[in-house]
Structure 1
Amino acid sequence: MTHIRSHILAALAVAGIFVTAPAFAQSSTCQEGQKILQERQSLIQQVNKLTNGGKNKKLDPREACTIFSKLVTNGTAGEKWMTANKDWCQVPDQLVQSFSEDHKRSQQFKGQACGAAAKMAEMEKRAKQQAQQGGGAGGKMGGGLTGTLSIPKGAL
């Protein structure tokens, strides 16, 4: 996770360079790109909060799926915008390449997070079904604390 953050932060640093470019400030089309990058920066901050700055090894896959889904949507819009406006808005090639690489990593993380979230949802669904059916496996000691055990009578 730290790896993606360093690349994204580098991309945002490069983005800061072209944010101040004269053509960028003059064109409403170029300002659209600035909005996309600001939204992306906000989403990255959400990812950082979710991971507690890289210190939290356990993530809630549902939260991660939601944030990475938004990040992927933002990345798709950003790539489309950069392709269409690269020359007009003086977007450096390094930023386009870095942004594209980060977008691919975001797609991978989204796939992993959403896959884990789907598995969690399925497990929770099964657990609820088993709870509704009286604990699932019945029989002697099979139902957890509700099972019965008969003690043999006679001399041991």
Structure 2
Amino acid sequence: MAFRTFALAAAALAGCTLLNAAAFAQSAECGAIQKTLEERKALVQRANSASNAKKKMTPAEACALFGKMQTNGLQGIKWIEANKEWCQIPDSFTEGFKADHQKVVGIKTKICGMAAQAAKMEAQAKAQAANGGGGGLLGGPGLTGSFKLPQGAL
């Protein structure tokens, strides 16, 4: 009887150890998202501080920043989908993260479009300056000819 009690106690202790090991493995594995979330928080802080700074970001810099945020979001979504059940991630968190990611994608698309347009305009201006053009007020060839003022009382 004493052996049987000892065996049950040993089995219970082994079960607790295995459960603790599983819980520890779960917490370590489930904590892996923290790195992605911290990186995302730093990127958002960088975007917020740039919008409040005196020296604003160029469109190209903003495009690169939002590109990093989009990549971070894709990594987060991939991790959440792979570990949702095991880590018991609430649906509200998943939906909120995906909605935030969609906003970032939309902003990135607009900003990168502006950056591409600015780069194109800059390249055109440089090409025009290199060809000796660009003497006018708006970068055109300028006005030529003469204009006579009306004579008489004004």
| TM-score between the two structures when normalised by the length of structure 1 | 0.67
RMSD value, Cα: 2.9
Q: Does 1:52 align with 2:44?
A: no
1:107 aligns with 2:105: yes
Structure 2 SS opposite 1:135: coil
What is the aligned partner in structure 2 of residue 64 from structure 1?
62
In structure 2, the CA distance between the partners of 1:132 and 1:85, relative to structure 1 (3 Å rule), is: same
Cα offset for 1:31? 2.3
Alignment of 1:15-54 (within 5 A): 27-52=27-52
3-state SS of the aligned residue for 2:32?
helix
Q: Structure 1 residues 82 and 133, CA, compared in 2 at 3 Å: closer, same or farther? A: same
What is aligned with 1:87? 85
Gaps of 5+ in 2: 1-22, 149-154
Q: Percent identity of the aligned residues?
A: 48
8 Å CA contact retained: 2:30, 2:87: yes
Q: Aligned in 2, Cα 1:24/1:59: closer, same or farther, shift over 3 Å?
A: farther
Amino acid at match of 1:64: A
**Amino acid corresponding to residue 43 of structure 1 in structure 2:** L
- State the 1:151 CA deviation: 9.7
- The residue correspondences of 1:95-134 to structure 2 (distance < 5 A) are 95-134=93-132
Query: What is the total number of aligned residue pairs between the two structures?
Result: 122
In structure 2, give the amino acid aligned to 1:129. A
Q: Report the 3-state secondary structure (helix = DSSP H, G, I; strand = E; otherwise coil) of the residue aligned with 2:37.
A: helix
Unaligned runs of 5+ in 1: 1-22
Q: Cα distance 1:126–1:24, how it changes in 2: closer, same or farther (>3 A)?
A: farther
Task: Classify 1:24/1:110 alpha carbon distance in 2 versus 1 (closer, same or farther; 3 Å).
Answer: farther
The higher radius of gyration belongs to: 2
**Contact 2:26–2:87, Cα closer than 8 Å, also in 1:** no
Post-superposition CA distance 1:49-88 (Å, at most 9, x none)? 12118xx8x7532121011100000000100100011122
Q: How far, CA to CA, are the matches of 1:88 and 1:104 in structure 2? A: 25
